[in-house]
Amino acid sequence: MPEIKTEVQAIGHAECLVIGGGVIGSSIAYHVAKEGRSTILVERFIPGGGASGAAVGMLAAESEEFTDPELAQFARTSRDAFPELVRDLERLSGVSVEFRTEGFVTPFRSEAEGQKRWNAAIAQEVDHPVWWDARELARRIPGLDGQVIGAIYRSKETQISPAQLCRAYTGGSCRTGSNNMLWYTGGATCSTAWASLRRTNRQWLFFL
């Protein structure tokens, strides 16, 4: 991780100030920094220490069972872009995002529920879901609730640790381009950060 500065004081000059180090804020900081913009990210706690860190991190383009075709395609495109993103982030930051590629299962407790989910999956999905009966499910994932009688397995679904992703984004942005930094306010407001930048030629300001 980059050095975290804790003093509440003037933080210098940058073209982009991002306030909030969750998944969205840290991602913006990383991608803007990759474009060569000097960037400062301000965070009250540590990257991923708020709501983003409580998320599960599922990259579940199919398991979410989107009914809107455009949204479903957008989700698949996003999910499928992650392997390359993960390689770049982990190389730059040295932070593992705990990327898991075992796929997801959607269990069901009745034949009717399973058939309904299966019919929807094969009608809408393009990634070839697989039906697991109770025996196959018990062989693959022993110890599940005995009321579960089967599952739909989706091999392309993946998962990351959102907190680690935030830290990798932050570390990557600090090592991309020049004059990029993480600023930790220790729970203080961001007024000092804003005051220190309001006389600069900043180009973007994001509040997340």
d(CA 170, CA 173): 5
User: Measuring CA to CA, which residue among 83, 18, 27, 24 is closest to residue 52?
Assistant: 24
Contact, 76 vs 68, CB < 8 A? no
Report the pLDDT value the prediction gives residue 38, as an integer from 0 to 100: 84
User: Which H helix or E strand runs over 172?
Assistant: helix 162-174
Report the pLDDT value the prediction gives residue 36, as an integer from 0 to 100: 87
Q: How many CB atoms lie within 10 A of CB 145?
A: 7
Virtual CA dihedral for 187, 192, 198, 204, nearest 10 degrees?
Answer: -20
Taking only the tens of pLDDT, the chain with its 208 residues reads 544 444 444 456 778 888 889 999 999 999 998 888 888 888 888 889 899 989 999 999 999 888 898 999 999 999 999 999 999 999 999 999 999 999 999 999 999 999 999 998 888 878 889 999 999 999 999 988 889 999 999 999 999 999 999 999 988 888 876 566 666 555 444 444 434 434 333 333 344 4
DSSP 82-142: HHHHHHHHHHHH------B-S-EEEEESSHHHHHHHHHHHHHH-SS--EEEEHHHHHHHST
d(CA 107, CA 85): 30
Q: Which residues does residue 131 pair with via DSSP β-bridges, in sequence order?
A: 152
d(CA 24, CA 168): 13
- Is this prediction's pTM over 0.85? no
Q: How many CB atoms lie within 10 A of CB 128?
A: 11
